[in-house]
Amino acid sequence: MYIDTHAHLYLKEYDNDIINVIERAKASRVDYIIVPGTDIQSSFLAADMAANYPMIYAAAGIHPHETTMWDEALIPILEEIIKNNKKIVAIGEIGLDYYYDFSPREMQIKAFRDQIELAIRVDLPVIIHNRDADEDMIRILEDYVGSGLRAQLHCYSASLSDAKKIVSMHHFISFTGNITFKKADDLRKIMSVISPEHLLLETDSPYMSPEPMRGKRNEPANVGITAKKIAEIHKTTPEDIARVTSYNAFRLFGIGRVPDTKFTYIIGHTLYINVTNRCNANCIFCLRKKEPVIAGYNLSMNASEEPPAEVYINEIGNPVNYKEIVFCGYGEPTIRWEVIKEIAAYVKAMGGNTRLNTNGHGNFINKRDITPEMKGIIDVVSISLNSTDASQYSELMNVDPSLFEEMIHFTVLAQQQVPRVVMSIVSVDDVEIDKAKNFVENVIGAEFRVREYF
């Protein structure tokens, strides 16, 4: 269920009880552990552990503390370790540490860049350590945009604006037990706005034990404590965090597998209905055709696999067990409006709540006004605004500009039939948000919501 992406299990702290540590990890629902090296010797040890324990994978690399005598001749040695060990899934732990400054900064930078280039060459991600070197770290990462570099920023402790830059470069961020520390409010605030889709779990064992074990030896079994804290911050469940971060580990390190397709899926206390992958639009940001996975659930299905209403109804069971039943997925649900109507009527008859997430093109798709058919079976309609400008809207969604007006008209009609209509926009800059808020509330008269994650 959990993947601890960072545990130095070859250290002497585990000499006497490594078997017990691994058994406790399994008992605590840890599926896999990544053991990163910090120098040549520990990279060999990590590789050995991976060879000996099915649940362990390894990373090979030279930590910034160990770069005082950095020599490019170490690169072929690392390459040899990687070549000979199929379970090495990353170059790491590498990076910059200006807090301790154990190695001259120019040597740290040289070693870091040389190892990044190795990672790109052998097509592996990197696991990055950064302490008080934020400016150089971001500058170096920016130098490699477009190179194929994929990274995990481990034990994150930098700023919110740096986190935004890291996510925009499609890298991953992980927090350790540091997120549970009493004085870590700033870190928790940063975490609260990073979508779980960009997070990984880690313990950094034997260091960074979470509260209430702070100061004691850490071990992978504790990764669930961090997951629980992240879930609390994101107002969701540890299961959600486990599933999403495990899928992220699959995306970055190739550990695990693509999950099976789901027709219904739970996030928090809401049940989502994966209606279709088909859509009349083709948004430039949509992952529908590339990677239709959301919150760790695989939603891919072609038209011939779309199930009838009975399948969804069976999976729903008693809808009052959920806060809401939401028609959603990677596709436009109103393409299957007849199926939605059948399911929604069942949910309402059983006392549940329904929400339709749509692009607002339902009338255009169905060639009639479907909003009167929503009366009594849909409680909330949530419409993606995407832009307040018709030509930008059309460019973003690859649709005819007339569909902007169509979407607005649909919103106005839906308000006459449904108790709540919300228009949402993904958090961009403050000026755009103010413009969208004014447009939605004062021009259209609907409720406005900003989807805040980046």
Residue pair 107/128 in contact (Cβ under 8 Å)? The answer is no
The CB-side HSE value for 229 (13 A sphere, CA atoms) comes to 25
Q: Which stretch binds ligand SF4 (CB under 6 A): 5-13, 117-125, 275-283, 341-349?
A: 275-283
Q: Which of 332, 213, 197, 224 is closest to 274 using CA atoms?
A: 332
122: its two tokens: 């052998």
Per-residue string for binding with ligand SF4, 358-387, x by CB under 6 A? -x----------------------------
The answer to whether 193 contacts ligand SF4 (rule: CB under 6 A) is: no
- Assign residue 29 a region (left: φ > 0; alpha: ψ between -120 and 50; beta: otherwise): left
Output 250 or 330, the one with its CB closest to ligand SF4.
330
Among 2, 32, 112, 330, binds ligand SF4 (CB under 6 A): 330
Among 74, 339, 344, 397, binds ligand SF4 (CB under 6 A): 397
CA–CA separation, 81 and 241 (whole Å): 33
Residue 299 buriedness (CB in 10 A; 0-12 / 13-18 / 19+): buried
CB atoms within 10 A of CB 275: 28
Residues 418-437 interacting with ligand SF4 (rule: CB under 6 A): none
404: its two tokens: 């902007």
Output 161 or 391, the one with its CB closest to ligand SF4.
391
The answer to whether 180 contacts ligand SF4 (rule: CB under 6 A) is: no
Among 286, 390, 422, 433, binds ligand SF4 (CB under 6 A): 286
The answer to whether 306 contacts ligand SF4 (rule: CB under 6 A) is: no
The answer to whether 346 contacts ligand SF4 (rule: CB under 6 A) is: no
Q: Bridge-partner residues for 172, per DSSP?
A: 152
Among 8, 262, 288, 355, binds ligand SF4 (CB under 6 A): 288
Number of residues that bind ligand SF4 (CB under 6 A): 11
Angle between helices 185-192 and 223-233 (to 10 degrees): 70
Q: How far is the CB of 273 from ligand SF4 (least distance, A)?
A: 14
Among 68, 161, 282, 402, binds ligand SF4 (CB under 6 A): 282
Q: Which stretch binds ligand SF4 (CB under 6 A): 48-56, 120-128, 330-338, 366-374?
A: 330-338
Per-residue string for binding with ligand SF4, 102-141, x by CB under 6 A? ----------------------------------------
Q: Which of 47, 25, 397 is closest to 202 using CA atoms?
A: 25
Residue pair 348/292 in contact (Cβ under 8 Å)? The answer is no
For residues 30-49, one letter each, b for 16 or more C-beta atoms within 10 angstroms of the residue's C-beta and e for the rest, the string is bbbbbbbbbbbebbbbbbeb
Among 114, 202, 332, 373, binds ligand SF4 (CB under 6 A): 332
Q: How far is the CB of 285 from ligand SF4 (least distance, A)?
A: 7
CA–CA separation, 60 and 81 (whole Å): 7
Q: How far is the CB of 403 from ligand SF4 (least distance, A)?
A: 10
The answer to whether 393 contacts ligand SF4 (rule: CB under 6 A) is: no
Residues that bind ligand SF4 (CB under 6 A): 279, 281-283, 286, 288, 330-332, 359, 397
